[in-house]
């Protein structure tokens, strides 16, 4: 599904970029990275957006530098997909990249976030649903929890979600395609 998709990672922390790259490579992506975040001209000279399908930015990039890079990369390749990661959680970043790389919209499931940390799922066609919860604990350690791993036929169900934590995210995956990422902390939703 992701075989051969080319990704450039731009960030300050080399160990984090290496870990993300390893996870991407396991899923068939081809990844490259640069830590030259304070040298925008160097990044532009060393990397041409036409050589990539996606370019992913560290959330800590200066706003002006991010805008310069986005403008330049969009000029080089108008079809490029640009992603700024939500948190320094490697598996979550990979899920963001997967969400951004989809060309086909998942139609076998619809969902709605309800009050009291509940999620309503409506199965339109049989599908495998995986719901994960990512968060950072008080010690800034990454935690991942499987909330639901289930084959859903047609029909509806309500899933209780974990309580919101600091830097807390819910990822909905259907038939191995990331359908949505919900930032519980900021109440933001990324979808296809």
Domain locations along the chain: 6-101, 109-191
pLDDT of residue 90: 94
pLDDT of residue 8: 96
Buried b (16+ CB within 10 A) or exposed e, 77-100: beebbbbebbbbbbbbbbbbbbbb
pLDDT of residue 153: 86
**Are the CB atoms for 188 and 182 separated by under 8 Å?**
yes
Please tell me what DSSP assigns to residue 57: E
Mean pLDDT over the full length of the chain: 91
CATH architecture of the domain with range 109-191: Sandwich (2.60)
pLDDT of residue 155: 87
Q: Coil, helix or strand for 111? A: strand
CATH architecture of the domain with range 6-101: 3-Layer(aba) Sandwich (3.40)
Name, in order, each residue with C-beta under 8 angstroms of 189's C-beta and a sequence gap of 6 or more: 113, 180, 181, 182, 183
| pLDDT band per the 50, 70, 90 thresholds, residue 19 | very high
Three state DSSP letters for 173-186: EECCEEEEEEECCC
Place of tokens 């991407």: 24
| pLDDT band per the 50, 70, 90 thresholds, residue 167 | confident
pTM of the model: 0.91
pLDDT of 88 over the 80 cut: yes
């Amino acid at each position: 599904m992701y075989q051969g998709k080319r990704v450039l990672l731009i960030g300050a922390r080399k160990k984090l970029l290496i870990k993300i790259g390893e996870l991407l490579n396991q899923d068939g992506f081809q990844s490259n990275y640069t830590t030259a975040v304070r040298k925008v001209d160097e990044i532009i000279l060393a990397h041409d957006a036409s050589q990539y399908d996606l370019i992913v930015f560290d959330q800590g990039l200066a706003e002006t530098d991010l805008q310069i890079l986005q403008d330049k990369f969009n000029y080089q390749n108008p079809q490029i997909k640009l992603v700024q990661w939500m948190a320094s959680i490697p598996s979550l970043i990979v899920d963001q990249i997967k969400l951004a790389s989809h060309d086909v919209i998942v139609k076998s499931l619809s969902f709605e976030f309800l009050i009291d940390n509940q999620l309503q799922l409506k199965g339109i066609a049989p599908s495998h649903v995986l719901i994960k919860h990512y968060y950072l604990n008080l010690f800034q350690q990454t935690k991942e929890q499987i909330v639901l791993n289930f084959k859903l036929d047609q029909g509806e169900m309500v899933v209780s979600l974990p309580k919101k934590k600091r830097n807390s995210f819910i990822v909905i995956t259907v038939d191995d395609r990331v359908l949505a990422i919900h930032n519980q902390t900021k109440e933001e939703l990324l979808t296809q």
